Amino acid sequence: MKFPISHSLQQIASIIQSEFVGDADFQVLGMNEIHVVEPGDIVFVDHPKYYDKALNSKATTILINKKVDCPEGKALLISDDPFRDFNKLTAFFKPFEKSSKNIAPSAKIGKDTVIQPNAFVGNNVVIGANCTIHSNVSIYDNCVIGNNVTIHAGTVLGSDAFYYKNRPEGFDKLLSGGRVVIEDNVDIGALCTLDRGVTGDTTVKKGTKIDNQVHVGHDTIIGEKCLIASQTGIAGCVIIEDEVTLWGQVGVISAITIGKKAVVLAQSGISKSLEGNATYFGSPAEEAREKMKQMAWIKQIPQIIKK
């Protein structure tokens, strides 16, 4: 998430009431999670296991809960609770905006796009030309939809990320300030949910077709011309490359990559990254023919025991 204008390190520190290490005029351009940070961004870290990863990332400002040596060319924000203060920054730069109409006045709707009754289109949403948005679709603030997109009834774009910190008093939610971006010629079935990014974009690229009752987690990127069948669940921060097919009830764990033109057969569970140009089956998913052989061998176990 990029800020509307550049802010100084001192300005950011004043928002969250923290100490800082570095030049007071050091420029801060945005904030992001570790997997999508760029120079100019803030990243937060609150566990010693990940200190080095954050300090050596592309981020140039690190929001951290310990005084450490500041890497050259970077700055530190010292906080007793980086998770809380990252939320403060999200709330400051991306505050919740109440809507008063089914289609917000700030929404931009393209030529020949049809929005059926009872659909909701939030603040600053952009929808391209020749789209069809069916009844009871909810498109939350700041979502971007391309041209020739069809979204069927009951689908929700831009719901919050499922991201919590377990505290003694209960689960503390990480606020979502990102977007959902749908490119051209995408079809999305009924009753699907696509969560917005925490700070970046959840993206569905052009030509992809998504069946009914599919869930896509925060910051996931689905490539071009993919087919995602019904009741598939995709966790956050997944990269699905172009022309991938996921058949019904496939489950995908977070932060993995599925390679180009991979096919995953129904009811498979994906627990690690998969190479492209292959077919997979099972839970955990493996190359389909090998998995079928294993299942055949398992059926022979009772006969082997009898012998």
Q: What is the pLDDT of residue 283?
A: 94
pLDDT tens-digit readout, 187-202? 999 999 999 999 999 9
Q: Which of 10-24, 55-69, 287-301 has the lowest mean pLDDT?
A: 287-301
pLDDT at 35: 87
Q: What pLDDT is attached to residue 111? A: 98
Residue 282, pLDDT > 80, answer: yes
Could you tell me if 182 and 126 are in contact, meaning their C-beta atoms sit under 8 angstroms apart?
Answer: no
Q: In the numeric block, which tokens belong to residue 158?
A: 């831009």
Q: What is the mean pLDDT of residues 272-298?
A: 94
Produce one character per residue of 233-253: b if its CB has 16 or more CB atoms within 10 Å, e if not: bbbbbbbbbbbbbbbbebbbb
Q: In what order do the strands lie in the sheet with 41-45?
A: 2-8, 27-31, 41-45, 61-64, 75-78, 19-21
Question: How would residue 269 be classed by pLDDT, with cut points 50, 70 and 90?
Answer: very high
Q: How confident is the model at residue 304 (pLDDT cuts 50, 70, 90)?
A: confident
Whole-number Å distance between alpha carbons of 12 and 176: 19
- pLDDT for 202: 98
**pLDDT given at position 167:** 96
pLDDT at position 300 is 85
How does pLDDT run across 103-127, given as a tens digit for each residue?
A: 999 999 999 999 999 999 999 999 9
The answer to whether residue 218 is catalytic is yes
At 52 the three-state DSSP class reads helix
Q: What is the mean pLDDT of residues 41-57?
A: 96
Structure pTM? Answer: 0.94
Query: Is the pLDDT confidence value at 307 over 80?
Result: no
Domains of the chain: 2-93 (3.40.1390.10), 108-292 (2.160.10.10)
What's the rounded mean pLDDT across residues 64-77? Answer: 96
Task: Please state, rounded to an integer, the average pLDDT across all residues of the chain.
Answer: 96
Q: What is the pLDDT of residue 299?
A: 86
pLDDT at 213: 98
User: Would you say residue 257 has pLDDT above 90?
Assistant: yes
The C-alpha atoms of residue 290 and residue 287 are separated, in whole angstroms, by: 6
Q: What is the pLDDT of residue 302?
A: 84
Q: Which residues contact 105 (CB under 8 A, 6 or more apart)?
A: none
- Which of these is catalytic: 134, 152, 215, 218? 218
Give percent above pLDDT 70 in the chain.
100
Higher pLDDT, 49 or 305: 49
Instruction: Quote the CA–CA distance of 116 and 102 in Å, as a whole number.
Output: 11
267-275: average pLDDT: 97
